[in-house]
Amino acid sequence: MLTFNLTLSGSDLLLLLPEIFLTLWLCVVLCLDFSLKRITHQQLAYLSIGGLGITGLMLIGMDVTGITGALFKNMFVLDHLALFFKILVVLATALVVFMSIDYVRDFRFFKGEYYCMVVMSAIGMMFMASSNDLLSVFVTLEFSTFGFYVLVAYLRDDIRSSEAGLKFFILGVFAAGLLAYGISLVYGETGTMVFSEMAGNQGSYGLAIGFILIFAALGFKIGAVPFHSWIPDTYQGAPTPVTAFLSIAPKGAALAILIRMFYVALASFKPMWVVVFVLASIVSMTYGNVVAIAQKNIKRLLAYSGIAQIGNIMIGLAAGTKQGSDAIMFFLLTYLFANLGAFAVIIAVSQVIRSDEIEDYNGLNRRSPFLAAAMLLFLLSLAGVPPLAGFIGKLYLFVAAMEQELYTLLVVGLVNIVISMYYYLIVVKKMYINEPTDPSPIAASMPIKVAVYVGIAGTLVLGIYPGPFIDWAVDATLMFSNIVAPVAALSVLPGS
């Protein structure tokens, strides 16, 4: 039976300090918003960024000094893996807030609350990165998604945004149902909620179904085929900064859970789940890339390309080794900069031309050489062209797959690079080769430029000097160095 008696000491609270601090900061921002009449939404945004910055520094400090531990009977674990993903989430959130400042100006209501919702989701995702048992997975997942339900439908006069919100909500709730059902099955079979205690359990059909249901719920979060159907419409309809947020932060947090769950709880069943990931990876990459070719809307294009990128990421999960998880984490970093950068450019362009159609990117090079060059870099990094970050990321994934002799996956992945290059090239062609219909220049505002510059810097630095960041990812997963023993694990399987 699950009993719960809470004992907390001051030093325990230290582990929760970043989350506690950010929660208090969020409350302060919220109070300032309604109590000071003259405070502008820009000031609130910069306040939020300040809070995120301090949180980020705390996390980095904890990572450097090695403050780790577990709380609440292992429900909440703070290790280097969790810290990596928390820093990722905080960085993404700060960039998203920068990108939002222009966009929020055009909102008619609830400007200040917007930032609160963003930060609240971020807190949820930080908890996700630390969740170490099924109950906390459920709670944190729903907590972070709750903020997104509101954010996606934030443009309440816009029919597309409302539609996106509704679709996201219905499918999200459905996924939550699957998750709860899966959790109940797993608990019934193993009698425990904590990942590390499940390891070494005998396999059974109930357990398998339970984990498949949990995988489906998390697959919904990361947008892997066949759980991707909400992605294109939601991406297109949601306010663009929210789309950018959706495209990286929840995926990162959900991957933290996936890595923990499969590497720790299900380590002994590796030969079985590898097959699942190989299939999901192949289908996601191929489907995402092929369908992306036909897209006319840049947000939809990035939505499908995101599905394909998740396919790439799952190459690392399919490898199922420490090398695989290192590759995933480094790839997520490269994806963060390139993808957020691309969305920042999209926001800058759409602020002026009020359109997200790829057709309207004609001659962007003439209208804003800076934005066009930045977009070129981001798209090439997403495609994996050296010497940009994406190339190193993909190289690592492929090396990890090769190490596990997953040749089919490797070949499919490489073929997909060619396919993806084709549609990224379509955008490049529009920007550079086609002539603009309206040659008036497009100027980007300062906050957007900050986001774009950070994206460019990240894309170049991670590509040209990836060493320290790879080391960071490698160090974060040290705890997995011992779990890669698929051959020995075979004997634990039922009937073998």
Partner 1 sequence: MTEMVIPSGGTPWLTLVLVIPLLGVAGILLAQESLSRQVALGVSTLCFLVSLPLWFLFDNGNGGMQFVEKHQWIESPSIHYALGVDGISMPLVLLTTLLTPLCILVSWTAIEQRRKEFMISLLVMETATIGVFAALDFVLFYVFWETMLIPMYLLIGVWGGPNRVYAAVKFFLYTLAGSILLLVAILVLYFEGGRTFDILTLTQAHYSPNLQSLVFWAFFAAFAVKVPMFPFHTWLPDAHVEAPTAGSVILASVLLKLGTYGFLRFSLPMLPDASVAFGPIIMALSVIAIIYGAYMALAQADLKKLIAYSSVSHMGFVTLGLFALNAQGIEGAMLQMINHGITTGALFMCVGIIYERTHSRQIVDNGGLAKAMPQFATFFVIFSLSSVGLPGMNSFVGEFLVLVGAFEWSKLTATLASLGIILAAAYILYMVQRIVYGPAASAMLPKLFDLNPREFGMLLPLVFFVFWIGLYPNPLLDVMHGSVNRVLASQSEIVTVDRGQQTDKPTRLVADGAVNSQPLTGKVQ
Where on the chain is the footprint of partner 1 (CB under 8 A)?
A: 365-366, 369, 376, 380, 385-387, 391-392, 395, 398-399, 402-403, 410-411, 414-415, 417-418, 421-422, 425, 428-429, 432-433, 466-467, 470-471, 474
| Closest CB to partner 1 among residues 257, 444 | 444
What is the nearest approach in angstroms of partner 1 to the Cβ of residue 435?
A: 10
Q: 216 or 421, CB closer to partner 1?
A: 421
Per-position DSSP letters for 454-473, written without gaps between them: HHHHHHHHHHH--HHHHHHH
CA atoms of 187 and 32, how far apart (whole Å): 44
- At its nearest, how many Å lie between partner 1 and the CB of residue 414? 5
CB of 84 to partner 1, least distance (A): 17
At residue 276's C-alpha, the angle toward residues 270 and 278, to 5°, is 95
Select 20 or 464, whichever has its Cβ closest to partner 1: 464
Closest approach, Cβ 259 to partner 1, in A, equals: 19
Residue 205: CB minimum distance to partner 1, A: 38
Q: How many residues does the chain have?
A: 496
Strand, coil or helix: 71: strand
Query: Rounded CA gap, 298 and 343, in Å?
Result: 9
The string over 375-405, giving b where at least 16 C-beta atoms fall within 10 Å of a residue's C-beta and e elsewhere, is: bbbbbbbbbbbeebbbbbbbbbbbebbeebe
CB of 338 to partner 1, least distance (A): 15
Answer yes or no: are the C-beta atoms of 329 and 473 closer than 8 Å: yes
Q: How far is the CB of 359 from partner 1 (least distance, A)?
A: 15
Closest CB to partner 1 among residues 219, 384: 384
User: Least distance in Å: CB of 304 to partner 1?
Assistant: 19
Cis peptide before 226 (omega within 30 of 0): yes
DSSP state, residue 136: H
Question: What is d(CA 82, CA 62) in angstroms, rounded to the nearest whole number?
Answer: 11
Nearer to partner 1, 33 or 326 (CB): 326
Q: Residue 143 Cβ, how far from partner 1 at the closest point, in Å? A: 37
For residue 401, what are its two tokens?
């797959």
Nearer to partner 1, 374 or 376 (CB): 376
Q: Which C-beta is closer to partner 1: that of 218 or that of 400? A: 400
Q: How far is the CB of 129 from partner 1 (least distance, A)?
A: 25
Is 276 or 385 the residue whose CB approaches partner 1 more closely? 385
How distant, in Å, are the alpha carbons of 82, 85, 179, 278, 428 from that of 196?
Answer: 15, 19, 19, 24, 47
Q: In this structure, what token pair is assigned to residue 198?
A: 């499940």
- Longest Cα–Cα distance of the chain, Å, equals 70
C-beta of 15: minimal distance to partner 1 in Å? Answer: 30
Instruction: Please say which residue, 223 or 393, places its beta carbon nearer to partner 1.
Output: 393
Alpha helix segments (H runs only) across 238-368: 240-260, 270-293, 298-319, 322-353, 364-367
Residues 410/403, Cβ–Cβ less than 8 Å: no
Nearest-angstrom CA–CA distance, 111 and 239: 13
Q: How many CB atoms within 10 Å of residue 460?
A: 16
Nearer to partner 1, 34 or 465 (CB): 465
List of long-range contacts for 85-88, beta carbons under 8 Å, 24+ apart: 85/128, 85/129, 85/252, 85/253, 85/255, 85/256, 85/329, 86/18, 86/59, 86/126, 86/129, 86/130, 87/56, 87/59, 87/60, 87/63, 88/249, 88/252, 88/332, 88/333, 88/336
Burial (0-12, 13-18, 19+ Cβ within 10 Å), 109: exposed
Closer to partner 1 by CB, 70 or 395: give it.
Answer: 395
